[in-house]
Structure 1
Amino acid sequence: MEPGRLFSDPTAAPIPSQQGAWRLGRPDPVEALARLRTGNIRFASGASHPGGGVPRPYAVVVGCVDPRVPVEAVFGQGFGAICVVRSAGHVLDRAVLGSVEFAVTDLQVSLVVVLGHEDCRAVAAANEAVRTGRRPAGARQFLIDQIAPAVPAAGPAGSSLDEVTRSHIRRTVATLRHADHLREALAAHRIDVVGGIYQLESGRIEIL
């Protein structure tokens, strides 16, 4: 999907499939993204998500702990369709990265999605820390340190929270793309890694 296209854009052309992916029950990266896009259309339109499970997951989503973003619901997926790994500000550490690699290598998912969202308080805290030079105490410092590079990468001083959030999502995607086991799967065209931002009011997800 091209950058800026909404998952829930009803005018989007159907995404072509690769031969045999649906019949095998585990879609290729393109069809995995199409399934999530279709599910988000259902969610944003107010339709309920399917209640049944699937034989095996086909995607792993790295999301934020914010309860305003219930990952399975916003993608319109039933139980068993996607693996979800959550941390504040979708920050990567060894446990999160190891969980994503496990989903790719052991569970054989076809797609990795980094899902950020509007009004992310973890990103806001990092943005504030960079602007003021004041870091929080405790383990939250790790979160701030991991998000902080996205602030200057977003552009000139005074960049909006939305711009910093998008910068952080893109940096997280880049980090995952260079992880050893994911890089191998990417080179073999077995998976894809994409980033998206969830819009709280509309319920739509935009691919970056």
Structure 2
Amino acid sequence: MTATRDAQVSTPAAALSELISGNKRFVYGHPRYGHDVAQAAATAQGQKPHSLVFGCIDSRVPLEAIFDQSFGSICVARSGAHVLDRSLIGSINFAVTELGVALILVVGHKRCGAVHATVQALRDGATPGSDSGSVGYLVDQLAPAVHEVGLDDEDAAEKAIRKHVGRTAERLRENPDLAGEIAAGRVRVVGAVYDLDSGWVEFLD
């Protein structure tokens, strides 16, 4: 059996609507999907996801749960503070070209540890490129969003989270491997921020 995507979830608008509805079910305590083995078996022979959701590695942000999506519905990619690298861009491109996802959703979240650590590092005098380690790479990638907000802003970290979501989404929109699909209206890139306290996802576009 080959998994097929619901005909009603075949466009960027329909995919976004499904994620918005799923987040509402999650917040109101009425999830539709329980993630049992029967659901896993039903999609074992194939998949046709409607969206790729790219988020942070934070354990408090389980993406399938906060959007109440079942097996085969969404692809998930994660990294610290949803920082892009070559592997992640390739994975996202694969989801679009090979799996036919209609939506790429970039999800940041409030109180992101990586962003707060970047703000502190920059306030302490660290500069992009000054730390050659792997964590330093995250600082390098997050620093532009922090500087765009300004280190003197007392709410710099939370504002930078939103800026970084927007910058990540824009970087994906400008990716030459995605540009054609986006221009044709077959794929849309949207940013969002998850509230750890309420469970709500705020869609930024």
Q: TM-score range by the shorter chain?
A: 0.7 to 0.9
Match of 1:49 in 2: 32
The Cα shift of 1:157 comes to 2.5
Where 2:75 maps in the other structure, the secondary structure is strand
One-letter amino acid of the counterpart of residue 169, structure 2: V
Q: Deviations over 1:80-139 (max 9, x none)?
A: 100000000000000111110000111000000000000000111111122222366621
Match status 1:35 vs 2:18: yes
Whole-Å separation in 2 of the counterparts to 1:49 and 1:123: 33
CA contact (8 A) 1:26 1:109 kept: no
Whole-Å separation in 2 of the counterparts to 1:159 and 1:91: 23
Where 1:157 maps in the other structure, the secondary structure is coil
Q: What aligned pairs does 1:93-132 form with structure 2 within 5 A after superposition?
A: 93-132=85-124
Where 1:68 maps in the other structure, the secondary structure is coil
Gaps of 5+ in 1: 1-21
Whole-Å separation in 1 of the counterparts to 2:199 and 2:134: 31
CA contact (8 A) 2:165 2:191 kept: yes
Q: What aligned pairs does 1:1-208 form with structure 2 within 5 A after superposition?
A: 24=7, 26-51=9-34, 52=39, 55-134=47-126, 138-155=133-150, 157-160=152-155, 161-208=157-204
Aligned residues: 187
Cα RMSD between the aligned structures?
1.8
CA contact (8 A) 2:131 2:137 kept: no
CA contact (8 A) 2:9 2:18 kept: no
CA contact (8 A) 1:26 1:56 kept: no
CA contact (8 A) 1:49 1:73 kept: no
The Cα shift of 1:49 comes to 3.4
Q: Deviations over 1:22-46 (max 9, x none)?
A: 8636520000000000100000011
CA contact (8 A) 1:59 1:81 kept: yes
Whole-Å separation in 2 of the counterparts to 1:41 and 1:148: 33
The Cα shift of 1:202 comes to 0.5
**Structure 1: 4+ residue segments shifted above 6 A:** none
